[in-house]
């Protein structure tokens, strides 16, 4: 592309999960190759992309109100003689609603689903040359190349450019790396199998290459991403099948990479190899997000989760036998169709039985096209709200108890950035807790052994333990839970 007088600016607004955060970075990388730099906000952007989430109704409705605001901003700018602005929709709403978006919002210049991001630069080029005023609402979006929602995942990963070292550095010491995308589980409440398509795993060498590049650019902690990350599978160098545990072992060999995490997992895919990785790999952090969704067997069955309450509890026992201090995190849905008070109490009781360090709780939101949306016995909104409040109160107690139990313990904290107050740095404990500490900036990018001296609402306060060796790349936990 020919170099403009000043670089074009891109603003991406990201909704939803970490996979979208990763994808937004990859879209920024693709557009960086076309000369685009980051804009501070939509006001000074030439291209605004909304990277959207379709998981619950609220998430997807936000997109349409944001599009309305952006169109108003563009009209204002045009009236003031300012530059044009292209507006694009990416992510799961783009995939699920495709041309419907252009029908509802004819001013949208491009709609690109998660498996088509490698087409973004050419879509933007086409949109720049299109006459928006002549197009009108009746324009055939598919024919003018405004909508790309194909599923061709392998191609996407091969064709998307890697970030430059500078871009990686600017994004910080921790990075996401998508190793798996899509889902074949078809939980009856969930849109993911429809928006992200069938499960696809990236090959081992691909993942290792990307990880090595990230580490060479300064990344110290990697979080492997996948809608169903522990379903990842590949072949090792000898052509033997290998699961996520094996992949983590290979990644742990990369010098300079000091911490590994992964999310999100399904209980059915938590195999022996992966549990053993939690026992053996010092670099694999003792924190596991393993959603159960409900504690009631009849609801789990209706959700098509393919595991029982007892299966889940047995699994947690095995994981804790391998890594006794592991912090558990989960997702819960209240008010799935047919959920009785007794079913809901079974959810409360599984939360009590497991003891979560963190948990995400949602009211069931019927999603068009999923089996759950057509089930009888939908639960009234007021009942859902009341159950959510009770569940939130319980998990709130547990997360606070977990934070309080950290006080007095000594743990390794990866110092990532400046803290909110001057003279302070912020980092994460092995259990993904935010920790702040009084420390000089020169310690950013090191792991420090700290005593936790206080627990606030959202973060812990640490004090560097000075009489022990300062640590930079070892993660041994020193105190028992």
Q: Does residue 367 belong to the site contacting ligand 5AD (CB under 6 A)?
A: yes
Contact assessment for residue 25 and residue 63, using Cβ atoms and an 8 Å cutoff: no
Rule CB under 6 A: choose which of 112, 190, 200, 217 binds ligand 5AD.
190
* Window 240 to 269, contacts with ligand SF4 (CB under 6 A): 266
Q: How far is the CB of 185 from ligand SF4 (least distance, A)?
A: 4
| Euclidean distance between CA atoms 248 and 277, whole angstroms | 7
| Euclidean distance between CA atoms 281 and 248, whole angstroms | 8
Element (H, E) at 41: none
Rule CB under 6 A: choose which of 20, 223, 227, 406 binds ligand SF4.
227
Tell me which residue has its CB nearest to ligand 5AD.
331
Contact assessment for residue 181 and residue 227, using Cβ atoms and an 8 Å cutoff: yes
- Determine how many CB atoms are found less than 10 A away from the CB of residue 385: 12
Q: Does residue 185 belong to the site contacting ligand SF4 (CB under 6 A)?
A: yes
Q: Does residue 290 belong to the site contacting ligand 5AD (CB under 6 A)?
A: no
Q: Does residue 333 belong to the site contacting ligand 5AD (CB under 6 A)?
A: yes
Q: Does residue 186 belong to the site contacting ligand SF4 (CB under 6 A)?
A: yes
**Which among 387, 435, 391 is positioned nearest to 412, based on CA atoms?**
435
Q: Does residue 337 belong to the site contacting ligand 5AD (CB under 6 A)?
A: no
**Which among 189, 20, 32 is positioned nearest to 94, based on CA atoms?**
20
Q: How far is the CB of 309 from ligand 5AD (least distance, A)?
A: 16
Rule CB under 6 A: choose which of 157, 189, 356, 431 binds ligand 5AD.
189
- Check the CA dihedral 468-473-474-477 and report its sign: positive
Q: How far is the CB of 351 from ligand 5AD (least distance, A)?
A: 13
- Which among ligand SF4, ligand 5AD, none contacts residue 185 (Cβ within 5 to 8 A by kind)? ligand SF4
- Check the CA dihedral 283-287-292-295 and report its sign: positive
Residues near 25 by beta carbon (within 8 Å), at least 6 away in sequence: 163, 167, 171, 176
- Which among ligand 5AD, ligand SF4, none contacts residue 163 (Cβ within 5 to 8 A by kind)? none
DSSP-derived letter for residue 263 is: E
- Which among ligand SF4, ligand 5AD, none contacts residue 266 (Cβ within 5 to 8 A by kind)? ligand SF4
Q: How far is the CB of 1 from ligand SF4 (least distance, A)?
A: 37
Rule CB under 6 A: choose which of 94, 187, 257, 395 binds ligand SF4.
187
The dihedrals phi and psi of 339, each to the nearest 5 degrees, come to: -70, 120
Q: How far is CA 319 from CA 73, 184, 270, 277, 475, in A?
A: 51, 24, 9, 10, 19
Rule CB under 6 A: choose which of 51, 115, 201, 365 binds ligand 5AD.
365
**445's torsion region: left (phi>0), alpha (psi -120 to 50) or beta?**
left
Q: How far is the CB of 241 from ligand SF4 (least distance, A)?
A: 21
* Window 125 to 184, contacts with ligand SF4 (CB under 6 A): 183
Rule CB under 6 A: choose which of 34, 280, 331, 386 binds ligand 5AD.
331
Q: Does residue 193 belong to the site contacting ligand SF4 (CB under 6 A)?
A: yes
Taking CB under 6 A as the binding criterion, the range among 155-163, 359-367, 401-409, 425-433 that sits at the site for ligand 5AD is 359-367
- Which among ligand SF4, ligand 5AD, none contacts residue 333 (Cβ within 5 to 8 A by kind)? ligand 5AD
Bridge partners (DSSP) listed for residue 445: none
Q: Does residue 118 belong to the site contacting ligand 5AD (CB under 6 A)?
A: no
Distance of CA 289 to the CA centre of its chain: 12
| Euclidean distance between CA atoms 298 and 254, whole angstroms | 45
| Euclidean distance between CA atoms 101 and 341, whole angstroms | 39
Q: Does residue 360 belong to the site contacting ligand SF4 (CB under 6 A)?
A: no
Contact assessment for residue 444 and residue 428, using Cβ atoms and an 8 Å cutoff: no
Q: Which residues bind ligand 5AD (CB under 6 A)?
A: 55-56, 189-190, 291, 293, 331, 333, 362, 364-365, 367
């Amino acid at each position: 592309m020919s170099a403009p007088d000043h670089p074009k600016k891109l603003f991406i607004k990201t909704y939803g999960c970490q996979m979208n955060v990763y994808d937004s970075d990859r879209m920024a990388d693709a557009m960086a190759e076309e000369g685009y730099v980051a804009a501070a906000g939509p006001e000074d952007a030439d291209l605004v992309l909304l990277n959207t989430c379709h998981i619950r109704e609220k998430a997807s409705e936000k997109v349409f109100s944001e599009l309305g605001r952006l169109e108003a901003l563009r009209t204002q700018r045009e009236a003031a003689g300012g530059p044009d602005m292209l507006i694009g929709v990416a992510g799961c709403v783009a995939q699920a609603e495709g041309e419907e978006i252009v029908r509802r919002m004819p001013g949208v210049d491009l709609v690109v689903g998660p498996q088509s991001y490698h087409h973004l630069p050419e879509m933007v080029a086409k949109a720049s040359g299109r006459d928006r005023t002549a197009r009108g609402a009746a324009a055939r979006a598919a024919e003018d190349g405004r909508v790309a929602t194909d599923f061709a995942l392998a191609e996407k990963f091969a064709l998307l450019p890697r970030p430059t070292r500078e871009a990686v550095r600017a994004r910080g010491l921790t990075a996401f790396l998508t190793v798996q995308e899509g889902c074949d589980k078809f939980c009856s409440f969930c849109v993911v199998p429809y928006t992200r398509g069938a499960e696809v795993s990236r090959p081992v060498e691909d993942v290792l290459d990307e990880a090595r590049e990230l580490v060479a650019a300064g990344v110290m902690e990697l979080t492997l991403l996948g809608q169903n990350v522990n379903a990842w599978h590949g072949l090792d160098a000898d052509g033997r099948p290998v699961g996520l545990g094996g992949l983590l072992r290979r990644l742990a060999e990369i010098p300079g990479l000091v911490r590994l995490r992964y999310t999100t997992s399904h209980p059915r895919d938590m195999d022996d190899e992966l549990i053993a990785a939690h026992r053996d790999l010092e670099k694999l952090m003792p924190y596991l997000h393993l959603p159960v969704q409900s504690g009631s067997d009849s609801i789990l069955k209706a959700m098509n989760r393919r595991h029982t309450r007892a299966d889940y509890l047995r699994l947690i026992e095995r994981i804790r036998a391998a890594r006794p201090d592991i912090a558990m995190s989960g997702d819960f849905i209240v008010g799935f169709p047919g959920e009785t008070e007794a079913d809901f109490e079974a959810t409360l009781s599984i939360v009590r039985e497991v003891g979560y360090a963190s948990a995400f709780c949602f009211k069931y939101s019927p999603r068009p096209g999923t089996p759950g949306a057509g089930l009888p016995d939908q639960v009234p909104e007021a009942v859902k709200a009341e159950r959510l409040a009770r569940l939130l109160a319980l998990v709130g107690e547990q997360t606070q108890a977990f934070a309080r139990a950290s006080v007095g313990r000594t743990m390794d904290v990866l110092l990532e950035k400046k803290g909110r107050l001057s003279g302070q740095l912020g980092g994460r404990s092995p259990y993904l807790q935010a920790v702040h500490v009084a420390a000089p900036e020169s310690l950013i990018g090191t792991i420090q052994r700290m005593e936790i001296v206080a627990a606030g609402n959202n973060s812990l306060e640490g004090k560097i333990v000075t009489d022990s060796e300062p640590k930079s790349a070892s993660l041994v936990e020193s105190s028992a839970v």
